[in-house]
């Protein structure tokens, strides 16, 4: 398969990108608004072409443990779900992080808490960036704003997951999952051979195959001294990721008097508000964190030096704003505007909120 | 007539003194050391009546800690 | 003839399985786990599966199974071993994949994973150690705890009106079209150990031939949890566990 320009939903783009990246296995369970990922994979039947395994599991709990099993063998495996399902996966994600396994988890967020709504939300920011499950761990969290990024972040997520032996998450909102856009699908590349996997993942429990020692994938260690060393190793990895992998985009930040910070599709809404504001003579800039963990603290900190205030816009009650506040070391107004329950604000609503907050 | 004789070698330090080999032996060859214990404090299994052993391996088969080796010899 | 002469002139008819690690196992004296570990080691060796085997360890007493058998292992979350095994097997069907689970792992927290893996006919061996109690956590009630049986959480005995009935899960698995071979064994006598070994062998043959999930339940003792000597526990098992969980093939291999 060559590079191809298509019109499709963000969810479908993830499925196509997975096949083209050479993913070895997908294990998932239906939940709105991301079921098209599993549906597209089943329709495409990649097991006939690339040999990719696709399986509908009996639950999200089972899906994530299939991912744990697959990742243990060095395979590139992934799952996808939406907020309530991702809550169910937290135990497994913690095990994957603790066993230092690469894997990709997609969360196309819907509004919560509880069963909540099937409509878009960004209310799993805390869960995704602050740990989610038990224990001290982090996921690399990528926040796509376009269908193109939905496709691109499959490859990026796996590349980072394998580089650092840690799970990565695509944290998308229901808007970018459901909307259709033009997307350039990358050319297909072959799946790795068992020999390539063994070379890339010498730790994998894939069968000994004449190896002198056995490989064991486990997160258990009852010797506290060793367990502390393990934790220190995890933290060194996280520190390295924080040094190397912060990604963000800035818009109009060179001359801005105010700053908006937003991720995912909300950043696109903010950009429209900012364009309108500039027509009215109000210079607002935008930072769009692309990695929510590691978070672009330094970038925001530097821009914060020369603005009068920051508005953080999210589809939640105020989650990322805590990280933005951490990035700002001086006395600067940092406000939040959010809609919840599946409501998505339009650009004018955001702009009105901005002018009200800053009394303009 | 040919007679089968046998013997066992017990890894004394690995033995946990569970007594299952003693119970399994059809010829009452084994016993647990009454007073002596190994480094881990277990009354280990030992041969009490070595001549009676027929090398049937019942003791080793039921041993959960794989600490018994069995030898067998056909005596003509 | 003295012992040394027999050793020198005779044949070694029983030795520690080659695939067993040299370290001492953490199990209590007399624990059935050790015997089943030996059998798994022997079968994998005899069938030439050492290089393709991947064992999935449970949470429970056998959590450290990976310390004892020299093959690749994945340590699963509590109850999730069949899901883990599903992926390991599907991603490379040439692997010999088995789960090793206790009654709490398989029949309580992991019931869904167990039944659905078996129902999909995953070509994995499920080794199910049923001793009617949670050993690792200190002897609490398991799904398979017998009526009236005292445990740390049923100190006056399991009462059906309070705790429900003992879950006889293996016949349920035998009903599923995805299973190829379902059997119930024990390892309390030399004869039963030999039978259990041939059952395990059959189970691995079934999955390597792609016939579907093979389940080997081993009705076992927990002398610490039951608070009796290993020998007494074997007697108690025969009198009480076997009537509730009768031995034999529940679904013979075709």
pLDDT tens by residue, A161-178? 999 999 999 999 999 999
pLDDT digits (tens, 9 = 90+) for A78-118: 999 999 999 999 999 999 999 999 999 999 999 999 999 99
Check whether B1 has a pLDDT greater than 80: no
Q: CA–CA separation, B66 vs B55, rounded Å? A: 16
Say whether residue A205 is in contact with chain C using an 8 A CB cutoff. Answer: yes
Count of CB atoms within 10 A of residue C209's CB? 11
Question: Mean of the pLDDT values across residues A300-313?
Answer: 98
Is there a single domain that holds both residue A49 and residue A165?
A: yes
DSSP states along C196-224: HHHHHHHHHHHHHTT--EEEEEEE---HH
List the subunits that have 3+ CB pairs under 8 angstroms with A. Answer: C
Where are chain C's structural domains? 26-251
What is the domain class of C26-251 according to CATH? alpha beta
Check whether A133 has a pLDDT greater than 80: yes
Query: Which segments of chain C are extended strands (E)?
Result: 11-14, 53-57, 72-75, 96-102, 125-130, 133-134, 140-141, 179-186, 213-219, 248-251
Residues in chain A: 360
Nearest residue in C to A27, CA atom:
C87
Is there a single domain that holds both residue A195 and residue A254?
A: no
Nearest residue in A to C73, CA atom:
A216
Q: Kindly report the CA angle at A275 between A270 and A277, in degrees rounded to 5?
A: 90
Q: Which of A85, A242, A57, A54 is nearest to A166 (CA)?
A: A242
DSSP type of residue C238: I
Question: Mean of the pLDDT values across residues C164-191?
Answer: 98
Q: Which of A83, A85, A49, A45 is nearest to A67 (CA)?
A: A85
pLDDT digits (tens, 9 = 90+) for A331-340: 999 999 999 9
Check whether A143 has a pLDDT greater than 90: yes
Q: What is the pLDDT of residue C164?
A: 97
pLDDT digits (tens, 9 = 90+) for C42-89: 999 999 999 999 999 999 999 999 999 999 999 999 999 999 999 999
Structural domain harbouring A190: 4-199
For residue B57, list chain C residues with Cβ-Cβ distance below 8 A: 13-14, 190
Q: What is the pLDDT of residue A181?
A: 98
Q: What is the pLDDT of residue C127?
A: 98
From the CA of A59, how many Å to the nearest CA of chain C?
9
Is there a single domain that holds both residue A73 and residue A141?
A: yes
Question: Mean of the pLDDT values across residues A62-74?
Answer: 98
pLDDT digits (tens, 9 = 90+) for A228-279: 999 999 999 999 999 999 999 999 999 999 999 999 999 999 999 999 999 9
**Cα B59 to chain centroid, rounded:** 6
Q: What is the pLDDT of residue A51?
A: 98
Report percent pLDDT > 70 for chain A. 100
Count of CB atoms within 10 A of residue B34's CB? 7
Say whether residue C75 is in contact with chain A using an 8 A CB cutoff. Answer: yes
Cβ neighbours of residue A88 closer than 8 Å, sequence gap 6 or more:
A59, A60, A61, A64, A81
Let me know if residue A220 belongs to a domain.
Answer: no
**Size of the A and C interface in Cβ pairs below 8 Å:** 126
Check whether C35 has a pLDDT greater than 80: yes
Q: CA–CA separation, B49 vs C182, rounded Å? A: 41
DSSP type of residue B51: G
Question: Model's pTM, two decimal places?
Answer: 0.97
Q: CA–CA separation, B9 vs A341, rounded Å? A: 72
Residue A147: band (very low, low, confident or very high) from pLDDT cuts 50, 70, 90: very high
Let me know if residue A224 belongs to a domain.
Answer: no
Check whether A141 has a pLDDT greater than 90: yes
Q: Could you tell me the CATH number of the domain that includes residue A309?
A: 3.40.50.920
pLDDT digits (tens, 9 = 90+) for A181-225: 999 999 999 999 999 999 999 999 999 999 999 999 999 999 999
Nearest CB to B66; choose among C16, C194, C223:
C16
Give chain A's domain count. 2
- Inter-chain CB proximity C12 and B69 less than 8 Å: yes
Phi and psi at residue C133, to the nearest 5° = -160, 155
Check whether B76 has a pLDDT greater than 80: no
Q: What is the pLDDT of residue A97?
A: 98
Find residues 32-71 of chain C whose CB sits inside 8 Å of chain A.
50-54, 56-57, 63-64, 66, 70-71
Is there a single domain that holds both residue A156 and residue A281?
A: no
**Cα C178 to chain centroid, rounded:** 20
Q: Do chains A and B touch (3 or more CB pairs under 8 A)?
A: no
Let me know if residue A324 belongs to a domain.
Answer: yes
CATH for B3-75 is 3.30.70.20
For residue B21, list chain C residues with Cβ-Cβ distance below 8 A: none
Q: What is the ipTM of this complex?
A: 0.97
Do residues A18 and A26 make contact, with C-beta atoms less than 8 angstroms apart?
yes
**Residue C44 Cα distances to A249, C38, C128, angstroms:** 55, 10, 17
Is there a single domain that holds both residue A101 and residue A175?
A: yes
Nearest CB to C190; choose among B62, B67, B69:
B62
Q: CA–CA separation, C133 vs C142, rounded Å? A: 5
Say whether residue B45 is in contact with chain C using an 8 A CB cutoff. Answer: no
Check whether A348 has a pLDDT greater than 80: yes
Runs of H (alpha helix) within A99-178 = 125-129, 147-164, 174-178
Nearest CB to C189; choose among B17, B24, B57:
B24
Say whether residue C187 is in contact with chain B using an 8 A CB cutoff. Answer: yes
Question: Mean of the pLDDT values across residues C152-162?
Answer: 97
Q: CA–CA separation, C37 vs C19, rounded Å? A: 10
Last residue of a domain, one of A199, A234, A269: A199
| Mean of the per-residue pLDDT values of chain B | 96
Residue C1: band (very low, low, confident or very high) from pLDDT cuts 50, 70, 90: confident
Q: What is the pLDDT of residue B17?
A: 98
For residue C52, list chain A residues with Cβ-Cβ distance below 8 A: 207, 209
Count of CB atoms within 10 A of residue A358's CB? 17
Q: What is the pLDDT of residue B75?
A: 85
Q: What is the pLDDT of residue C91?
A: 98
Nearest residue in B to C192, CA atom:
B62
> HSE of C225 in the Cβ direction (CA atoms, 13 Å)?
28
Nearest CB to B57; choose among C1, C14, C29:
C14
Say whether residue C127 is in contact with chain A using an 8 A CB cutoff. Answer: no
> HSE of A291 in the Cβ direction (CA atoms, 13 Å)?
21
Say whether residue A296 is in contact with chain C using an 8 A CB cutoff. Answer: no
Do residues A18 and A41 make contact, with C-beta atoms less than 8 angstroms apart?
yes
Q: What is the pLDDT of residue C2?
A: 87
| Mean of the per-residue pLDDT values of chain C | 97
Find residues 107-126 of chain C whose CB sits inside 8 Å of chain A.
112-113, 116
Q: CA–CA separation, A10 vs A150, rounded Å? A: 6
Is there a single domain that holds both residue A190 and residue A266?
A: no
- Inter-chain CB proximity A208 and C95 less than 8 Å: no
Report percent pLDDT > 90 for chain A. 99
Q: What is the pLDDT of residue C206?
A: 98
Its sign, for the CA torsion A237, A239, A243, A248, is: positive
From the CA of C83, how many Å to the nearest CA of chain A?
5
Question: Mean of the pLDDT values across residues A307-329?
Answer: 98
For residue C189, list chain B residues with Cβ-Cβ distance below 8 A: 24, 58, 62
Let me know if residue A227 belongs to a domain.
Answer: no
């Amino acid at each position: 398969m060559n590079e191809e320009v298509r019109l499709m939903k963000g969810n479908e783009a993830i499925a196509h990108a997975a096949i083209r990246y050479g993913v070895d296995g997908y294990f998932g369970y239906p939940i709105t608004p991301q079921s098209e990922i599993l549906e597209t994979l089943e329709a495409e039947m990649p097991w006939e072409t690339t040999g990719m395994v696709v399986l509908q599991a009996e639950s999200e709990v089972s899906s994530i443990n299939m991912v744990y099993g697959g990742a243990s063998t060095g395979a590139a495996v992934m799952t996808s779900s939406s907020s309530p399902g991702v809550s169910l996966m937290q135990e497994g994600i913690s095990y994957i992080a603790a066993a230092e396994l690469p894997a990709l988890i997609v969360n196309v967020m819907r509004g919560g808490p509880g069963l909540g709504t099937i409509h878009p939300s960004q209310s799993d920011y805390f869960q995704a960036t602050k740990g989610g499950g038990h224990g001290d761990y982090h996921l690399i969290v990528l926040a796509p704003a376009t269908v193109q990024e939905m496709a691109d972040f499959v490859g990026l997520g796996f590349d980072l997951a394998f580089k650092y032996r840690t799970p990565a998450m695509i944290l998308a909102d229901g808007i970018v999952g459901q909307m259709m856009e033009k997307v350039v699908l990358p050319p297909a590349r072959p799946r790795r051979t068992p020999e390539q996997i063994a070379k890339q993942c010498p730790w994998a429990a894939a069968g000994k195959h004449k190896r002198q020692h056995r490989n064991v994938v486990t997160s258990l260690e009852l010797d506290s001294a060793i367990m502390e060393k393990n934790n220190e190793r995890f933290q060194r990895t996280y520190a390295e990721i924080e040094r190397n992998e912060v990604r963000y985009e800035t818009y109009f930040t060179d001359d801005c008097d105010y700053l908006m910070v937003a991720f995912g599709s909300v950043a696109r809404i903010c950009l429209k508000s900012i364009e309108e504001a500039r027509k009215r003579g109000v210079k607002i800039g935008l930072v769009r964190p692309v990695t929510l963990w590691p978070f672009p603290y330094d970038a925001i900190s530097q821009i914060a030096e020369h603005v009068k205030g920051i508005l953080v816009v999210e589809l939640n009650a105020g989650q990322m704003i805590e990280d933005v506040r951490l990035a700002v070391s001086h006395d600067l107004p940092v406000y939040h505007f959010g809609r919840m329950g599946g409501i998505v604000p339009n650009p004018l609503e955001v702009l009105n909120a901005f002018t009200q907050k800053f009394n303009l | 007539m040919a007679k089968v004789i046998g013997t066992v070698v017990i890894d004394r330090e690995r033995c946990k003194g569970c007594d299952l080999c003693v119970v399994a032996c059809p010829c009452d060859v084994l016993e647990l050391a009454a007073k002596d214990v190994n480094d881990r404090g277990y009354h280990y299994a030992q041969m009490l009546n070595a001549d009676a052993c027929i090398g049937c391996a019942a003791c080793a088969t039921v041993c959960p800690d794989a600490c018994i080796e069995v030898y067998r010899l056909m005596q003509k | 003839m003295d012992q040394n002469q027999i050793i020198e002139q005779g044949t070694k008819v029983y030795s520690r399985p080659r695939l067993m690690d040299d370290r001492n196992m953490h199990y209590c004296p007399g624990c059935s786990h050790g015997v089943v570990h030996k059998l798994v080691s022997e079968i994998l060796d005899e069938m030439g599966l050492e290089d393709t085997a991947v064992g999935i360890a449970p949470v429970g007493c056998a959590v450290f199974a990976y310390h004892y058998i020299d093959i690749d292992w994945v340590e699963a979350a509590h109850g999730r071993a069949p899901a883990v095994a599903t992926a390991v097997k599907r991603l490379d069907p040439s692997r010999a994949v088995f789960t090793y689970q206790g009654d709490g792992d398989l029949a309580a927290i992991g019931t869904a994973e167990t039944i659905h893996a078996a129902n999909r006919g995953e070509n994995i061996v499920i080794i199910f150690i049923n001793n009617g109690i949670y050993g690792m956590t200190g002897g609490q009630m398991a799904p398979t705890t017998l009526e009236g049986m005292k445990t740390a959480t049923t100190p006056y005995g399991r009462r059906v009106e309070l705790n429900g009935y003992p879950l006889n899960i293996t016949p349920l698995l035998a009903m599923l079209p995805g299973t190829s071979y379902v059997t119930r064994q024990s390892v309390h006598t030399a004869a039963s150990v030999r039978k259990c070994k041939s059952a395990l062998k059959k189970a691995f043959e079934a999955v390597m031939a792609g016939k579907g999930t093979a389940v080997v339940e081993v009705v076992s003792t927990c002398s610490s949890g039951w608070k009796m000597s290993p020998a007494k526990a074997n007697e108690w098992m025969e009198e009480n566990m076997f009537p509730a969980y009768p031995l034999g093939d529940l679904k013979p291999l075709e």
